[in-house]
Structure 1
Amino acid sequence: MNKTGNSAFLKFVLLCSGSFVSAIGSGITSFGLGVYVFEKTGLASSGTLITLLAFLPGLLLAPFAGVLADRYDRRLLMILGDGFSAFGLVYILICLSAGEARLWQIGIGVTVSSVFSSLVEPSFRATVTDLLTEEEYSKASGLVQLSGSAKFLVSPLIAGFLLRVSDIRLLLMIDICTIFVTVSVTLAVRKGLIPKVSQVQNSFLKEFRTGMTALAKNRGVLALVLSGIGISFFLGCIQSLYTPMILGFTDSSMLGIATTVSASGMLVSSLLLGMISVKKSFTKVLTASLFLAGLFMAGFGLRENMILICSFGFLFFSMLPFANMSLDYLIRTNIPNDVQGRVWGLIGIISQLGYVLAYSTLGPLADFVFIPMLIPKGLLAGSVGKIIGTESSRGIGLLIILAGFLLCVAAILLYHIKSIRELENGGDVCIES
């Protein structure tokens, strides 16, 4: 690699470092709010409601953020998105300073933060393409996922410990401080980097249609994105319900430990992807990792046993970087760079509709259907309950088990879609150190 290439990759590493710090901060807040809301209400549906409010605005605004990422300086958009997202956190902190924050107040705060954070993701993904060569994409994917894993790996341990000595307000203040770090790093990366922006300033509607056209004309990419709706629904099950499942029989400190141990699987896989370069058979890697993730997800919900939960959680998370890397490569190499901001925005809103469905339905489904069926003398206590138990969180466990098996089915169906397999040439997986 030449000097210019080295400089670009160093900028990418610096950007990932800022993302790592940001992920720690947002992870601390996410963990703390999840525990706070569940302890105040005792309902899984309250936690999934807050998750939905934090997720939905950013998802709906993603296509518009994608247009902005192709039209304006992508690094500037990241700075504005990160910086203004602090307003939502400050609002929740003010509400807490007056006593307790109500559920609707927390909802407003996370919604405001999500609106501004929506500017970051399309710009960040497009910046990766600006800085790196195609040969560096798979390694870059591993480093990106490594920075993102901090939300699950580092944050829960920190938050679980801090909640024993302080309260949610300290967690929010730490998150606000990490935003300043992230903005400073992005400013440093932006210095000396020529913005790649569109020279033709079309209307937002026309830009949006351009992104839609680029996505729709590639049948394989479109099929992959649509398949992501089902995949994200099943993944959303464990993401939205693991907190109430574990808090149903232990405390927040053990939840933090379980989350960190489980997420270390993502760390191991991300480090591996950062050291090797996958060259072929991305479709096979994708479907195999999703199938195994489904099996491990089912094991995660099997019993109220921390060793079992941590073991299957570790294996589940270890599969996600391989799936994400494969998805990222198959899409990135089949979409022109000049429309990637718009396309990534569209991909975000389409493929993650499954998360919206999961966050809006699974909480009430767990509280009012599955949990009552697996309490002592419940409808399934004498059958399924003899296998997985009949404690307070066993209904949630059953829901996670079912979602895991359905993810396995989705992975098998995905592999048999011809247009997706044609996104690359067939062959065995080839890796280089």
Structure 2
Amino acid sequence: MATDALTPARSRLMRPAFALLWLSETALDIGAALMSFALGVWIFQRTGSAEQFSQAILAAAAPALLMTPLAGVLADRFDRRWVIAGCDLAAAALIVLLATLLFRDSLAVEHLYFFNAAGAIVASVRGPAYRAAVSLIVPKDRLTQASGLIGLTQSLLQIGAPLLAGYVMGAAGLKGVMLIQLILVFAGALAAFGALTRASHAIRGVPVPARLGLVHGTLDSFGSAIRYFRAMPLMLGLAIYTVLQESLLVLTTAMMTPLVLSTHSSDALGLILTCGALGSLAGSALLLLVRVDRRLMVWVLLADALLSLFVLLAGFTTSVPLWCLCAFFALFAGSASGACAGALWMRKTPKARQGSIFALLGALNLLAMCVVMLAGGNLGEHVFEPALAAGGAWADTVGAWVGTGKGRGLGFMFVAGGAGSCLMSLLALLHTRLRRLDELVPDHADDSAPLPLTVQPLAC
């Protein structure tokens, strides 16, 4: 693929193809934010169990893991327009099915396990195709700005999502939220299809060999991602760091809903999440205004350390204003870190293999999430909460720092997760080669960039 010839035509960030992809992702994300908030409140209000809340999230991970090899080959070897459109239609069908159960008063928590599992399969297939398309449409020196712009718009829309979800839940219930989500899914699907139709060079990563069937193509796609990480150990180090960091933070952010609802109303939760969205908006705006295209790895590590610090602080309080403050600054740092990390992955990975590499990264993240959510849900409800109840085993020791009573076990989980995540970021900053990843790993501007024949050790 001759990407160099395409560069002049794509010199500006806001080309029609990117604008449509931007609108597509925005529509889908705002719908997902509404649905996630509404379903989280619905589950916790009916069960009152942090463990069941975490199990509903876990139900999504295992099926998505099984789809990882197929997601990579679909993103790299098939028409990404139809991959993304097919995923969006499947998502719409799931919402219709869920709405049918709700209108018949048959919806149960167990149905949401199935919904989460099927939705995760759809997302695991769509994600690599979407990210690979963006990396081809946006010039590499504008990838951080593109990520910031997407985050800016999504954050701006998500500021009102929790409050809107709370209002719609009160006025029309979960049915109203589902109707909005259905409209947004169809709008996003049309925008994504239009974007890739305009940018024909982003439709497919590599030609499909006629002799290579789907099964062999899947194995070859997955194997190519493994070979890339073997040849690029620094990128493997980045992958391991990202997986460990995100798994700790996914646990704490997932537990925010039961943590707040254990002592406060859903209105308080909506306010906290809105403040978090404002922080994400500010972080994205910073990257849009301040062009960052050097030392991206250092930016990632510093932002992650700041994010982790505010997660830790959130575990020490039960005050809604302090939670709002922590949510703002945590997501401010998180949006900056995510944009820089995303730009790194899109700049450093070969274009023809990006679907496979992104799919493998998604699988590793899901696997780590399974472990931490399973452990966290059980520890939070059966160990930490009883130990930090009034008169519990830790009431006079740990309880002197984080407090005792309902929700304090989940608060301790925030403290432990934030501390572990912050320590990991600081250790990564001390690792000289990982900190200098931008300089040591070459950009892969096209498919012709060869992998090194020798493997460099991942050493300080």
Superposition pairs for residues 9-408 of structure 1, below 5 Å? 9-149=15-155, 153-194=159-200, 195-201=203-209, 202=212, 203-408=217-422
DSSP-derived class of the 1:376 partner: coil
CA 1:327–1:65 in 2, change beyond 3 Å: closer, same or farther?
same
Q: Is the 8 A contact 1:208 1:342 kept in 2?
A: yes
Work out the CA distance in 2 between the residues paired with 1:412 and 1:349. Answer: 25
Work out the CA distance in 1 between the residues paired with 2:53 and 2:155. Answer: 21
Work out the CA distance in 1 between the residues paired with 2:234 and 2:178. Answer: 42
Segments of structure 1 that go 5 or more residues without pairing to the other structure are 427-433
Work out the CA distance in 1 between the residues paired with 2:130 and 2:279. Answer: 24
DSSP-derived class of the 2:419 partner: helix
DSSP-derived class of the 1:349 partner: helix
Percent identity between the two aligned chains: 25
Q: Is the 8 A contact 1:281 1:424 kept in 2?
A: yes
CA 1:294–1:136 in 2, change beyond 3 Å: closer, same or farther?
same
Aligned to 1:429: none
- How far the C-alpha of 1:2 sits from its partner, in A, is 5.3
- How far the C-alpha of 1:296 sits from its partner, in A, is 0.6
- How far the C-alpha of 1:343 sits from its partner, in A, is 0.9
What amino acid does structure 1 have at the position aligned with 2:282? V
DSSP-derived class of the 1:424 partner: helix
DSSP-derived class of the 1:11 partner: helix
Instruction: Give the TM-score taking structure 1 as reference length.
Output: 0.93
- How far the C-alpha of 1:393 sits from its partner, in A, is 0.8
What amino acid does structure 2 have at the position aligned with 1:355? M
- How far the C-alpha of 1:148 sits from its partner, in A, is 4.8
Work out the CA distance in 1 between the residues paired with 2:288 and 2:175. Answer: 36
What amino acid does structure 1 have at the position aligned with 2:428? L
Q: Is the 8 A contact 1:300 1:401 kept in 2?
A: yes
Work out the CA distance in 2 between the residues paired with 1:299 and 1:8. Answer: 39
DSSP-derived class of the 1:85 partner: helix
CA 1:148–1:52 in 2, change beyond 3 Å: closer, same or farther?
farther
- How far the C-alpha of 1:299 sits from its partner, in A, is 1.0
- How far the C-alpha of 1:339 sits from its partner, in A, is 0.9
Segments of structure 2 that go 5 or more residues without pairing to the other structure are 1-6, 441-460
- How far the C-alpha of 1:304 sits from its partner, in A, is 0.9
What amino acid does structure 1 have at the position aligned with 2:80? R
What amino acid does structure 1 have at the position aligned with 2:394? L
Work out the CA distance in 2 between the residues paired with 1:400 and 1:347. Answer: 25
Runs (4 or more) in structure 1 with deviation over 6 Å come to none
DSSP-derived class of the 2:349 partner: coil
Work out the CA distance in 2 between the residues paired with 1:410 and 1:223. Answer: 12
- How far the C-alpha of 1:214 sits from its partner, in A, is 1.7
Identify the match of residue 423 of structure 1 among 437, 440, 445. 437
DSSP-derived class of the 2:15 partner: helix
Residue by residue over 1:314-336, the C-alpha shift from the partner in whole angstroms, topping out at 9 and shown as x without a partner, is 11111112221232233222211
CA 1:308–1:374 in 2, change beyond 3 Å: closer, same or farther?
same
DSSP-derived class of the 1:163 partner: helix
CA 1:300–1:230 in 2, change beyond 3 Å: closer, same or farther?
same
Work out the CA distance in 2 between the residues paired with 1:301 and 1:345. Answer: 33
Work out the CA distance in 2 between the residues paired with 1:310 and 1:39. Answer: 22
Work out the CA distance in 2 between the residues paired with 1:219 and 1:187. Answer: 36
CA 1:130–1:8 in 2, change beyond 3 Å: closer, same or farther?
farther
Residue by residue over 1:105-146, the C-alpha shift from the partner in whole angstroms, topping out at 9 and shown as x without a partner, is 111122222222222111111111111111111101212333
DSSP-derived class of the 1:277 partner: coil
Residue by residue over 1:122-178, the C-alpha shift from the partner in whole angstroms, topping out at 9 and shown as x without a partner, is 111111111111111110121233355468533212111222223112211211111
CA 1:4–1:401 in 2, change beyond 3 Å: closer, same or farther?
closer
- How far the C-alpha of 1:55 sits from its partner, in A, is 4.1
- How far the C-alpha of 1:340 sits from its partner, in A, is 0.9
Work out the CA distance in 1 between the residues paired with 2:223 and 2:10. Answer: 35
Return 271-280 or 128-137, whichever deviates more: 271-280
Return 51-60 or 145-154, whichever deviates more: 145-154
Aligned to 1:431: none
Instruction: Give the TM-score taking structure 2 as reference length.
Output: 0.87
Q: Is the 8 A contact 1:225 1:351 kept in 2?
A: no
- How far the C-alpha of 1:75 sits from its partner, in A, is 2.5
Aligned to 2:458: none
Q: Is the 8 A contact 2:72 2:221 kept in 1?
A: no
- How far the C-alpha of 1:22 sits from its partner, in A, is 0.9
Q: Is the 8 A contact 1:48 1:240 kept in 2?
A: yes
